[in-house]
Structure 1
Amino acid sequence: MSEQVPVPWAESRPLPAYRALLAVDAKDFTGLPALLHAPVSQVIPELVDQALTKAGLDSVRSDKSFPASTGDGIVFGFDPVHLPFVISPFLKVLDDVLGRYNVLAAGPRIRLRASVHVGPLPDADSAGDGNGTARNDTHRLLDSRPVKAILAASSEQTTHLAAILSDRVYEDVVLGGYTALHPDRCIEVPATVEGKPFAQRAWLHVPSPSGNLFRAGVLAVDEPHEAGVPDEPSPDPAATRDSLQKSQYQGNSQHVREGMAVMGDITGDLNYNGGATHYNGTNQHWGSGDNVSGTKHTGSPEEQR
């Protein structure tokens, strides 16, 4: 006989241990011929495990909590002590592993979205392990508009992974300085999911942004175009705009040193506007890598930061 269902707020009880979560899924999986679904489903966890080993995270690979296949991806929990290393170097290593696979494999390209979150979840070798709000939010982040839109807008030749970090992970691990990923390589985005009552602040990180994002105006580049080098196809602005329609952005200014940055709705040639957020083509904060061009103003003049 199963245990009696607990009644929330009726009594105090022990908080489950915190578990970090990693979820990945493949772009355009359902568009593949049915014949390819099974082999692609099999190769995704193999590529993730390969990247874990290359990143020096064999303990995460061997000690996954409540691992599960989602058909077009996987999700599993792990000890939060490893979160800094999953953020860096693992995400970059996974991007490299995917890039090498896509060059050498005879099958379809595999491009992934990844979400990273942390929260209290049961993990006691029982049927309900891994079920809870933190698990649900991990999947919502994975399905959110910003991470889908930027992967769709980027070049499949160079951008193989787009990752989204929950605000809790960003605050504790990235801002806390525990990981090698600098905060300037992340950008605040409104994580919303079409048709779902979900809206959270989150942080987008793309390990290898592609050149067409520069030309579309998402990123700024200070190098002249080489004569005779063909342009990569520009992203479809209408499709990208639709994928982020009605997203509302509120947050702090981002000073981007490396990586790429996206915030708010995508309109036109990937110019970003999110409610009261506006971008002007000046006053960029430069660092040593890829940057977002423009200045963000939020709210009224008195509230602008």
Structure 2
Amino acid sequence: MKPSRASSRPLPPYRAILAVDAKDFTKLPGSVHEDTSAAIKTVVGSALHDAGLEAEWSDPFFFGATGDGFAVGLPPRILPFLLDPFPALLQERLAQRRNERPGEAPLRLRVSLHVGPLPADPAASSSTGNGAARNDTHRLLDADVVKEALRDVSPEIALVAMIISDRVFDDVVRERYAGLHPDNFVPVTARVAGKGFDQPAWLHLPAQPGRPFPQGSPQSDELTHFAETVRPTPFLGTNYGQAAQINHGGMHQSGGTTR
């Protein structure tokens, strides 16, 4: 008797998945959680609007709130703009918010970006868009290395830390669709304890103008110390520390569809 095999099924369209959460959200008093959640959505929406992405933001493939942030499904054709200028605009909006609230701890956000096939039903925005690509986007957001990025850099300097998947880097950054140079990203290993997640990824701080180490300098196999010193300058520079050794394969084919 021949073993049964699963039938093929259509591959869902590719989606860009943007996920956001706030540093130290659970340390805030419960009385301000609702207001902070609303503020996160507002400030991200403002940055996307100024990046020319208001139409996509207002009509996503899916939107899932997480309390301290959200994940949203967007057309893959806008991935370059989610890398530049969106993170820099988000840093600016958060800095403006901080300046308007002297004495308060600044709102600081982690951002992850990935792309992959996901089913989505816009009519059921809050309960659709589930799959491995979305899971990996959340794992990137939860990786120790991006949490350390904001922990080890002055809150007066870095308000945004972005981590992107190897696939996004290869398809969008390395191929120069995004306005940022590849050296604006630091290669890291994204790990999440207890989840079996261990993948190459790329870290970017909008407050940091470029890769912090010279070409050819020694690199460790992970980001062991993100910032030993903070040197405020006209370009809000910081010292990342050492970064992971680049050990990436060939080009990926995203096969994305436009919306």
1:207 maps to 206
Taking structure 1 as the reference length, the TM-score comes to 0.68
2:34 maps to 38
Rg (Cα) greater in structure: 1
Aligned-pair distance for 1:290?
Answer: 6.9
CA deviation digits over 1:13-38, x for unaligned, max 9?
Answer: 11000000100100000001111111
- Among 21, 24, 29, which residue is 2:20 paired with? 24
1:96 maps to 92
Given that residues 184 and 255 in structure 1 are in contact (C-alpha distance below 8 angstroms), is that contact kept between their aligned partners in structure 2? no
Aligned-pair distance for 1:219?
Answer: 4.6
1:114 maps to 111
2: distance between equivalents of 1:80 and 1:11?
28
CA deviation digits over 1:58-108, x for unaligned, max 9?
Answer: 122212121111100111000000000110001111111111111113654
1:57 maps to 53
Q: 1:293 to 1:163 in 2, by over 3 A?
A: closer
2:65 maps to 69
Instruction: Read off the aligned partner of 1:264 and give its amino acid letter.
Output: E
2: distance between equivalents of 1:109 and 1:130?
31
2: distance between equivalents of 1:269 and 1:52?
28
1:264 maps to 222
Aligned-pair distance for 1:48?
Answer: 0.5
2: distance between equivalents of 1:297 and 1:112?
26
Equivalent pairs counted in the alignment come to 231
Instruction: Read off the aligned partner of 2:62 and give its amino acid letter.
Output: F
Alignment partner of 1:169 is 2:165: no
Given that residues 94 and 107 in structure 2 are in contact (C-alpha distance below 8 angstroms), is that contact kept between their aligned partners in structure 1? yes
Aligned-pair distance for 1:255?
Answer: 3.5
Instruction: Read off the aligned partner of 1:110 and give its amino acid letter.
Output: L
2: distance between equivalents of 1:19 and 1:138?
12
2: distance between equivalents of 1:21 and 1:29?
22
2:121 maps to 124
Given that residues 189 and 262 in structure 1 are in contact (C-alpha distance below 8 angstroms), is that contact kept between their aligned partners in structure 2? no
1: distance between equivalents of 2:12 and 2:164?
22
CA deviation digits over 1:192-228, x for unaligned, max 9?
Answer: 0122110100000011149xxxxxxx957xxxxxxxx
SS of match in other structure, 1:159: coil
CA RMSD of aligned residues (A): 3.1
CA deviation digits over 1:235-258, x for unaligned, max 9?
Answer: xxxxxxxxxxxxxxxxxxx849xx
Instruction: Read off the aligned partner of 2:118 and give its amino acid letter.
Output: L
Taking structure 2 as the reference length, the TM-score comes to 0.80
Aligned-pair distance for 1:292?
Answer: 6.2
Instruction: Read off the aligned partner of 2:81 and give its amino acid letter.
Output: F
Instruction: Read off the aligned partner of 2:49 and give its amino acid letter.
Output: T
1:139 maps to 138
Aligned-pair distance for 1:124?
Answer: 2.7
Q: 1:178 to 1:38 in 2, by over 3 A?
A: same
Instruction: Read off the aligned partner of 1:133 and give its amino acid letter.
Output: A
2: distance between equivalents of 1:162 and 1:185?
12
Given that residues 190 and 200 in structure 1 are in contact (C-alpha distance below 8 angstroms), is that contact kept between their aligned partners in structure 2? yes
1: distance between equivalents of 2:44 and 2:238?
26
- Identify the structure with bigger relative contact order (alpha carbons < 8 Å, sequence gap 6+): 2
Give unmatched runs, 5+ long, in structure 2. 230-236, 248-259
